[in-house]
Amino acid sequence: MGRVVAHLDLDAFFAAVEVLEHPDLAGLPVVVGGSPDGRGVVATASYEARAFGIHSAMSAAEARRRCPTARFVRPDHGLYSRHSRRVWTLVEASVPLAEQVGIDEGYLDLTGAVATAGDADRYLRALQQRILAETGLSASFGCGTSKVVAKIASDREKPRGVTVVAAGREATFLAPLRLRVLPGIGPKTDERFQAAGLATIGDLAALDDAALARLVAGAVGPELRDRARGIDPRPVTLPGRAQSVSVEETFERDIATAGEVREIVLRMADDVAERLARDARGAQAVTVKLRYPDFAIATRSQSAAAPFSGPEEIARLALLAVDRALAARRPPVRLVGVGVARLVDAEQLRLPLP
Amino acid sequence: MKIHCSTEHLAERLATAARATSTRASIQVAAGVRITATSSEEPGELAATDLELSLRVPIEFEVEQPGSAVVPARLAQEVVRSLRSDRVTLEADPAGGRVQITAGTGVYGIHTHPVDDFPKLPEIDPERVFEVDRAAFTATVERVIRATSKDESRPVLTGALLQIEPGRLTMAATDSYRLAVKETVLTDEVPEPIEAIIPARALAEVTRLATGSGPISVSADRNQIAFGVDGVWLTARRIEGQFPNFRSLRPEGFEHEVRLPRGELADVVRRVGVFARHNAPLRLGFSNGEVSISAQTPDVGEARETIPAPFGGEPFEIGFNVDFLRDGIDTASGDEIVFQLISPLRPAVVTGTEDDFWYLIMPIRLST
């Protein structure tokens, strides 16, 4: 499997946070948004509320007509940001590369971390389980060889779904879907395509250049058709400067003892220190990641009160972290990773204490 | 057990004892306060411990029936402090498991923890108790406690080193980024010198208790150290291990010594420090006759102020964590502080001009 991109989408995120904060809302139709007495609109509806046909962007008044017993909650964006931060902190520590694109969604690059579609499925289910266990929030994942396939796939089996599209199956997966689910096709474009007799993504994918040019002017057309074919070269990128530096390695044979794991961690701590020094930056946390033969992933982070960059400090914190992980579950392990996170431009020097 | 007590007194004593409770400890009874009633002739006792820290608090009450009970601290406090009647009666159910609080027409039944589960509290050997001056002790704690570490992975640094010897009380604390050392003259008699690493939390609790006057009693054995304040005994587990040899960390010589007005410097650091967010350094630029204090945080903003300073020599710039620097300036005493500096990557020492205190601070490496 070449490039592996996953899309993470938190399920009914605002409503889910409200239920977390107010457990008495659990199981009830919850509508987060404006007031149903005014001209408010629905931001998010819980799945219980969706059963009544309530959806985002619907007027809150209409939502109340459909479900008079729904509980209406005004959005608290500060609260959602805090919960979002918790999820992304966990995700960033767990995957090689993560790009958050919204408060409740983002892309993960899993290239190198998983080998087959089955791997990806297990990997993402384990991550989904950890997000649920550690943040109380449920997420759906889509996975494929590109962002567009991953994004569309994550929406197929909500909530708490994992949809992996195997390499080579992209076009087949997309073909029967309504055009409107393709990112970049808004209501206007959809209308124009429908009028031209296109109903599915497959119809768009099959257009020849001339027919395409008649429908959409300029470069947008070929780009949309590429996406309809599952082709999307956009890479998963870090927003702004690197937020973390990490190294990880999957071993051919399982690492059988804690002693060996610790030795590998020490070696990796040196590599990380070197890469950090190249960047002339300091870090505030060290994360260690282990993957077990059953694909379960353990990550542990260790923070310091002030930024550091020296190999001794990274090694010290990494060992503390790996010992905590190994205390929870012993080797064998299949993968070991060490990273530093929360990077800053300054390095706080320390006293040479024993 | 059945006792009658002043509501106000009970509320105040419960609040004191509850400082040693914990809801996070591994045993449930750590969230409870043990009430012990012996007889009306002897004072009663409230006791609490989270296994790291324990408190024994004397309390006045009338004993109708001796006995003891362990009540959940938070619940008991909530009930007692909201009572409106002056007197309150506590009666343990003879069958165990409950204490009934009666005040006026109100009756409150509280589920209790088993008395037998309450940990055995450390005994204080009266032979080993001696006294130190309260003001000297609390003033010393206050000067160093901020430099203790919060990093549990290095337990030794989460406490302050306490040295009591004839004529002198010394405390030192470091989180490895800064080191604070205070020496205080002691006129009390010291039967045997003490050197112990005391958890920062225990020291903070002692100063909280020691608001009045009169000496503080101290008693130490191999594992524990106890402080007696106005009849209340606080016992803490001593932190095991070797505290860094702090005196050797102070550089022997400095390149520069700059005196600055403490109040003005503190004000400037506070104002400019607003722009040293997300661990951005506060920069001190020394040049002929002045020091410029500046900070910049990307996407936030930047600030600079200059104050005259008796500095001569090659200009240089040194960066500090603003909180660490501010702690040093705040805890030094006197109208002036003295900066002792070597170079941008070597430790700096801040001292006051009035007493025996020094504060060593490690710089932040500046990228440009």
The answer to whether residues A197 and A314 belong to one domain is: no
Taking 70 as the threshold, does the pLDDT of residue B211 lie above it? yes
Of A317, A349, A352, the CB nearest to B363: A349
Of A280, A320, A346, the CB nearest to B281: A346
CB atoms closer than 10 angstroms to residue B12: 14
Size of interface A-B (CB pairs under 8 A): 63
Taking 90 as the threshold, does the pLDDT of residue A149 lie above it? yes
Taking 60 as the threshold, does the pLDDT of residue B368 lie above it? no
pLDDT (mean) for A114-120: 89
pLDDT, tens digit, for every residue of B163-173? Answer: 999 999 999 99
A115 in reach of chain B (CB within 8 A)? no
Lowest mean pLDDT among A235-244, A275-284, B207-216: A235-244
Q: How far is CA B47 from the centre of its chain?
A: 20
Class of domain B252-361: alpha beta
Probe site for chain B from A241, A276, A288, A353 (most B CB atoms < 10 A) = A353
Which residues in chain A are closer than 8 Å to B349, comparing Cβ atoms? none
Contact across the interface for B149 and A345, Cβ inside 8 Å: no
B342 in reach of chain A (CB within 8 A)? no
More confident residue, B111 or A348: B111
Written as six digits, the tokens of A335 are 């993968």
In a domain, A295, yes or no: yes
pTM: 0.60
pLDDT (mean) for B47-62: 94
Written as six digits, the tokens of B261 are 């007005």
Question: Residues of B numbered 289-308 whose beta carbons fall under 8 angstroms of chain A's beta carbons: which are they?
Answer: none
B368 in reach of chain A (CB within 8 A)? no
Please name the residue of chain B whose CA is at the shortest distance from the CA of residue A351. B176
Probe site for chain A from B146, B148, B150, B153 (most A CB atoms < 10 A) = B153
The pLDDT value given to residue A1: 47
The answer to whether residues A167 and A177 belong to one domain is: no
Q: List beta partners, residue A246.
A: A339
Please name the residue of chain B whose CA is at the shortest distance from the CA of residue A350. B177
Please spell the DSSP secondary structure of A145-163, one letter per residue. SSHHHHHHHHTTT-SS-EE
The answer to whether residues A92 and A158 belong to one domain is: yes
* β pairing state of A71-73 and A30-33: parallel
- For residue A242, what pLDDT band results from cuts at 50, 70 and 90? low
Of B153, B347, B364, the CB nearest to A347: B364
Taking 90 as the threshold, does the pLDDT of residue B25 lie above it? no
Of A280, A320, A350, the CB nearest to B362: A350
Residues B366, B317 contacting (CB under 8 angstroms):
yes
Q: How would you list the strands of the sheet with A244-255, edge to edge?
A: A244-255, A333-341, A283-291, A297-308
Which residues in chain A are closer than 8 Å to B177, comparing Cβ atoms? 305-306, 348-351
The answer to whether residues A202 and A116 belong to one domain is: no
Which residues in chain B are closer than 8 Å to A306, comparing Cβ atoms? 177, 279, 321
Q: How far is CA A145 from the centre of its chain?
A: 15
The pLDDT value given to residue B332: 92
Question: Residues of B numbered 196-215 whose beta carbons fall under 8 angstroms of chain A's beta carbons: which are they?
Answer: none
Of A305, A307, A346, the CB nearest to B175: A305
Contact across the interface for B244 and A351, Cβ inside 8 Å: yes
Class of domain B2-117: alpha beta
Contact across the interface for A354 and B242, Cβ inside 8 Å: yes
The answer to whether residues A216 and A138 belong to one domain is: no
Of B151, B362, B365, the CB nearest to A351: B362
Which residues in chain A are closer than 8 Å to B244, comparing Cβ atoms? 351, 353-354
Taking 70 as the threshold, does the pLDDT of residue A243 lie above it? no
Instruction: Tell me the residue type at B316.
Output: F
The pLDDT value given to residue A345: 66
Of the candidates A226, A310, A305, the residue with the CA atom closest to the CA atom of residue A272: A310
The answer to whether residues A192 and A326 belong to one domain is: no
The pLDDT value given to residue A45: 93
* CATH 3.10.150.10 matches B129-246: yes
Which residues in chain A are closer than 8 Å to B347, comparing Cβ atoms? 351
pLDDT, tens digit, for every residue of A188-206? Answer: 788 888 998 999 999 999 9
In a domain, A235, yes or no: no
CA A74 to CA A139: how far, in whole Å?
Answer: 22
pLDDT, tens digit, for every residue of B119-159? Answer: 999 888 888 898 999 999 999 999 999 999 988 778 999 99
Taking 90 as the threshold, does the pLDDT of residue A85 lie above it? no
The pLDDT value given to residue A280: 58
Question: Residues of A numbered 264-283 whose beta carbons fall under 8 angstroms of chain B's beta carbons: which are they?
Answer: 280, 282
Contact across the interface for B279 and A346, Cβ inside 8 Å: yes
What is the enclosing helix (H) or strand (E) of A83?
Answer: helix A77-94
Q: Which of A99, A105, A260, A347 is catalytic?
A: A105
Final residue belonging to a domain, choices A46, A76, A106: A76
Residue B237: HSE in the Cβ half-sphere, 13 Å Cα cutoff: 13
More confident residue, B297 or A69: A69
In a domain, A234, yes or no: no
Residues A199, A173 contacting (CB under 8 angstroms):
no
The answer to whether residues A149 and A218 belong to one domain is: no
Please name the residue of chain B whose CA is at the shortest distance from the CA of residue A342. B278
pLDDT (mean) for A265-283: 78
Contact across the interface for A348 and B366, Cβ inside 8 Å: no
Please name the residue of chain B whose CA is at the shortest distance from the CA of residue A306. B279
CA B9 to CA A229: how far, in whole Å?
Answer: 78
Distance from CA of B322 to the nearest CA of A (A): 11
- For residue A80, what pLDDT band results from cuts at 50, 70 and 90? confident
Taking 50 as the threshold, does the pLDDT of residue A146 lie above it? yes
The answer to whether residues A9 and A150 belong to one domain is: yes
Please name the residue of chain A whose CA is at the shortest distance from the CA of residue B320. A348
Residues whose CB falls within 8 Å of the CB of residue A63, separated by 6 or more in sequence, listed in order:
A31, A33, A36, A42, A45, A49, A52, A54, A70, A72
B279 in reach of chain A (CB within 8 A)? yes
Which residues in chain B are closer than 8 Å to A324, comparing Cβ atoms? none
Q: List beta partners, residue A111.
A: A114
Taking 80 as the threshold, does the pLDDT of residue A261 lie above it? yes
B348 in reach of chain A (CB within 8 A)? no
- For residue B47, what pLDDT band results from cuts at 50, 70 and 90? very high
The answer to whether residues A341 and A260 belong to one domain is: yes
The answer to whether residues A323 and A260 belong to one domain is: yes
Residues A220, A183 contacting (CB under 8 angstroms):
no
CATH of the domain at A199: 1.10.150.20
Probe site for chain A from B148, B249, B279 (most A CB atoms < 10 A) = B279
Probe site for chain A from B174, B177, B275, B323 (most A CB atoms < 10 A) = B177
Of the candidates B122, B123, B112, the residue with the CA atom closest to the CA atom of residue B33: B112
Taking 70 as the threshold, does the pLDDT of residue A233 lie above it? yes
What percentage of chain A has pLDDT greater than the value 90? 50
Q: Which domain holds residue A149?
A: 5-13+78-171
- Boundaries of every domain in chain B: 2-117, 129-246, 252-361
Question: Residues of A numbered 311-350 whose beta carbons fall under 8 angstroms of chain B's beta carbons: which are they?
Answer: 316-317, 320, 344-350
User: Mean pLDDT in chain A?
Assistant: 87
How many structural domains is chain A composed of? 4
ipTM computed for the complex:
0.84
CATH of the domain at A40: 3.40.1170.60
Q: State the Cα torsion A149-A150-A156-A162 to the nearest 10°.
A: 140
Of the candidates A301, A272, A306, A281, the residue with the CA atom closest to the CA atom of residue A289: A301
Contact across the interface for B174 and A351, Cβ inside 8 Å: yes
B176 in reach of chain A (CB within 8 A)? yes
Catalytic residue status for A105 = yes
Check for a shared fold between B2-117 and B129-246. Answer: yes
Q: What are the two backbone dihedrals, phi and then psi, of residue A347, each rounded to the nearest 5 degrees?
A: -115, 120
The pLDDT value given to residue B88: 97
pLDDT, tens digit, for every residue of A246-257? Answer: 888 877 778 889
Contact across the interface for A306 and B345, Cβ inside 8 Å: no
The pLDDT value given to residue B355: 84
- For residue B292, what pLDDT band results from cuts at 50, 70 and 90? very high
Ramachandran sector of residue A215 (left: φ over 0; alpha: ψ -120 to 50; beta: rest)? alpha
Please name the residue of chain B whose CA is at the shortest distance from the CA of residue A279. B367
Taking 50 as the threshold, does the pLDDT of residue A213 lie above it? yes
The answer to whether residues A86 and A125 belong to one domain is: yes
B85 in reach of chain A (CB within 8 A)? no
Taking 70 as the threshold, does the pLDDT of residue B22 lie above it? yes
The answer to whether residues A85 and A20 belong to one domain is: no
